[in-house]
Structure 1
Amino acid sequence: MILIESHKVPKSEDHTRLQEYGVGIFSKNPTKSGLKKAIKKGLVFVDGKLASTALFIKGDETIELFEIENNKREFHFPLEVLFEDDYLAIIYKPAGILVNGNSFATIDNALSQNLQKSSQSDAVRPRPVHRLDYPTSGLLLTGKTNASIIALNKLFENKEIQKTYHAITIGRMKQGGGIDINIDSKKALTQFKVLQTVKSERFKFLNLVELKPKTGRKHQLRKHLLAINNPILGDKEYYIKDLILNGKGLYLHASSLEFTHPFTKEEISISKELTKKFQKIFST
């Protein structure tokens, strides 16, 4: 068996059965039925011990999800590696490929053949620790050890990883500010700054915008920009009628990651230049 995901339970005074608590904590088995099957197959451990559906979670435990190694096929897909050490790696995800999920052609399935195996005692198959949408390009952070995956998830929870995106948006915008609009009844905040604006015959104005999400809601940037009537160019899900660009993909790019390395304490700052389709509209 190989470890594929790990979850650190926060401290709590509530006691909850594992099969209820564990729903949604793992991307591989997000549903209650999927988790129950994994437990019955002996693929879930709590604090290093085989778990059962009757187990109560009390807080501060480490829940680990394993899979049978022979069931995992590698997806042979070359990835650009921008940073790598014994604990973690940062790779470039092209637009038009899934990070993970039920599909075989995912970044998750391509990581092992692109990254060096960690020499640490708790080395695991490399795993993404956050997501980028299918049409979004940019930097993706991955963990290579059990401790690293837990530590990086904690950095995200504590908002200690600064992510910067760039997008091309439609319509006239003010030069900068914050978008403070709830998403799915949860607080969501995005800071934005317009770097350049050009006139467009079809869209009137196009803007190169720097975006800094302060929360991590699903599709946050895309939803927030549509909410202020400046949708992202090429977005076919969050758009204004008659302002859809076909055939060019989504103009959203995860351009930089900044954080303190949880083990070496090195200040990590990695950037990736805008793709050619951005550069055809804006010279940067």
Structure 2
Amino acid sequence: MHPAELTILYADEAMLVLDKPAGLLSVPGRGEDKQDCLSARAQRLHPDALIVHRLDMATSGVMVLARGAAAQRALNAAFASRTVTKRYIAVVAGHLAPPAESWGVIDLPIIVDWPNRPRRIIDHQLGKPSVTRWRVLSHDTDLDTTRVELEPVTGRSHQLRVHLLAVGHGIAGDALYGSPRVQALADRLLLHACSLELPHPVTAEVMRFASSANF
């Protein structure tokens, strides 16, 4: 991808919806080599573009940016009040049996692993409440993997990666958390933000945006 390239799913005077490629930072990191990022590319086209939420560098998919401070406040409030629904597609290691109901729930508290930052861990005493809904889409018996749809109810850093790891099914290609076998399953993290549903920051109309996973 060219450094200035952006895939725009939607744009109006109040917000931008972009399709972030895997391997691109959401916001600038430390150092000259980490200045190319989704927000910087968006601001070259729309100088008023402001960050509202983030996707991990290794994660691809739908991401919304506000245009201007008023829209940013409205979108931040929507995320804080959980009126935003995010769905992800992932491929995980092993045969993950479907839940008894149509959707299963992983409810495990997460905290930063300070000696091993930026990793996160499950900590039942100090962790912040973290909830993920999940359902099985298909199994690949040859590769011994399971394709799942995920809905983070809370929005902790690395939540989906840590929760799937905690139930014994790390996300394929996860260079930070995966075992050598899990890492060898793919040359990138197989986690894609496939849809985002949220109230428009000006009209409050519920809008839904989608992007297909390329894996």
What is the TM-score with the length of structure 1 in the denominator? 0.64
Partner residue of 1:229 out of 168, 181, 191: 168
Given residue 139 of structure 2, which amino acid in structure 1 is its aligned partner? T
Residues 1:178 and 2:124 aligned together: no
Q: Which residue of 2 aligns with 1:100?
A: 27
What is the Cα deviation at residue 246 of structure 1? 6.7
CA distance in 2, matches of 1:155, 1:114: 25
Residues 1:130 and 2:61 aligned together: no
Q: Which residue of 2 aligns with 1:194?
A: 136
Partner residue of 2:148 out of 203, 209, 214: 209
Partner residue of 2:18 out of 88, 91, 94: 91
What is the TM-score with the length of structure 2 in the denominator? 0.84
Aligned residues of 1:256 and 1:270 also touching (Cα < 8 A) = yes
CA distance in 2, matches of 1:150, 1:264: 14
Q: Which runs of 4+ in 1 moved over 2 A?
A: 112-115, 240-244
Partner residue of 1:113 out of 39, 44, 53: 44
**Cα RMSD between the aligned structures?**
1.6
CA separation of 1:255/1:110 partners in 2, compared to 1, >3 Å: closer, same or farther? same
Give secondary structure in 2 for the equivalent of 1:112.
Answer: helix
Residues 1:249 and 2:205 aligned together: no
Output one character per residue of 1:24-62: Cα deviation in whole Å (capped at 9) or x when no partner: xxxxxxxxxxxxxxxxxxxxxxxxxxxxxxxxxxxxxxx
CA distance in 2, matches of 1:272, 1:218: 21
CA distance in 2, matches of 1:215, 1:274: 22
Given residue 148 of structure 1, which amino acid in structure 2 is its aligned partner? A
Unaligned runs of 5+ in 2: 112-126
CA distance in 2, matches of 1:243, 1:80: 29
What is the Cα deviation at residue 76 of structure 1? 5.0
Taking the TM superposition and a 5 Å limit, the aligned residue runs for 1:11-90 are 77-90=4-17
CA distance in 2, matches of 1:210, 1:90: 21
Partner residue of 1:141 out of 64, 73, 86: 64
CA distance in 2, matches of 1:112, 1:236: 30
Aligned residues of 1:198 and 1:207 also touching (Cα < 8 A) = yes
**Which stretch shifts more, 249-258 or 237-246?**
237-246
Percentage of identical aligned residues: 34
CA distance in 2, matches of 1:131, 1:172: 30
Given residue 110 of structure 1, which amino acid in structure 2 is its aligned partner? R
Residues 1:157 and 2:80 aligned together: yes
CA distance in 2, matches of 1:231, 1:127: 32
CA separation of 1:241/1:95 partners in 2, compared to 1, >3 Å: closer, same or farther? closer
Say how many residue pairs are matched: 191
Given residue 57 of structure 2, which amino acid in structure 1 is its aligned partner? Y
Give the number of the structure with larger relative contact order, counting CA–CA contacts within 8 Å between residues 6 or more apart.
2
**Which stretch shifts more, 185-194 or 104-113?**
104-113
CA distance in 2, matches of 1:90, 1:232: 25
Aligned residues of 1:129 and 1:153 also touching (Cα < 8 A) = yes
Q: Which residue of 2 aligns with 1:239?
A: 178
